[in-house]
Structure 1
């Protein structure tokens, strides 16, 4: 069990791709999308994961997270049981200062959306902001993957 402290931002250009140390595909779905918790199945590269995330704090910065690795075959079977709206994306990892930014480039119904996340040790922790980092969207639930699977980016008005 861990507590996740995370900030999210729009990405304003593709410059992050030149700075990425690695990238990989992610396919994920949600077995449960309740406002108090989500249960996610994810295939990342060639590994499967089952994750439970709790409700976010009022400011959207902090929430409980539990994750365990599962067999890839199990993850593929569980994806078939997920609620509608499978998420497909490429994740890029970019090291900036003492932090790793995870930048997700979405495809399918969320194509055109690129979001960066940075995990912190405390809410007040300082981090260097790269030039491709745009408006902060931390706490805006529309940008949670569980919500993007239900209300995809391409349908936003």
Structure 2
């Protein structure tokens, strides 16, 4: 069992020139009930199936299980997903010993850019890049499973 510990921030400023890689991601949810999600993701030419549990009280930590699956299986599973899809480009930006994943959203979430950093512990320190803005860790409005149901452009 894996434990995901991450902090989430709004992005203010330029980040693309600092990225060492990027990829397009399309994902849907077979189940998006609060406290448990089952996600199907297509990232480039790879497919993934991910199960996430409920976040702790701080919103920093939760159970996560992920497996790579064949692309054709991911495409078939996407047909079983709830209405709505998350479409974004993920940019990877190194900052000190951490990598920030910066997601630029499209479609109904156009205009939203969020950065996440995964940590080994909840109190681990990290260097914030200059584009990091307000912290939104634990704010469920910014969870992808919620953005699918309540898109950013409709807030």
Q: Separation in 1 of the partners of 2:56 and 2:63?
A: 9
Which residue in the other structure is 2:4 paired with? 4
Q: Separation in 2 of the partners of 1:49 and 1:28?
A: 9
**1:83 Cα offset (Å):** 0.3
2:42 equivalent to 1:35: no
Aligned residues: 155
Which residue in the other structure is 1:45 paired with? 44
**1:81 Cα offset (Å):** 1.0
2:123 equivalent to 1:148: no
Which residue in the other structure is 1:92 paired with? 91
Which residue in the other structure is 2:16 paired with? 17
Q: Separation in 2 of the partners of 1:152 and 1:80?
A: 20
**1:34 Cα offset (Å):** 1.1
TM-score normalised by L of structure 1:
0.97
Deviations 1:84-130 (A, max 9, x none): 11000000000110000000000000000000000001111110111
Q: Separation in 1 of the partners of 2:89 and 2:75?
A: 18
Structure 1 portions without partners, runs of 5+: none
Structure 2 portions without partners, runs of 5+: none
Q: Separation in 2 of the partners of 1:72 and 1:137?
A: 32
What is the 5 A alignment of 1:132-147?
A: 132-147=131-146
Which residue in the other structure is 2:108 paired with? 109
**1:148 Cα offset (Å):** 0.3
Q: Separation in 2 of the partners of 1:154 and 1:85?
A: 14
Q: Separation in 1 of the partners of 2:150 and 2:35?
A: 18
Question: Tell me, what secondary structure is at the counterpart of 1:21?
Answer: strand
- Please provide the CA RMSD for this pair: 0.5
Q: Separation in 2 of the partners of 1:24 and 1:128?
A: 23
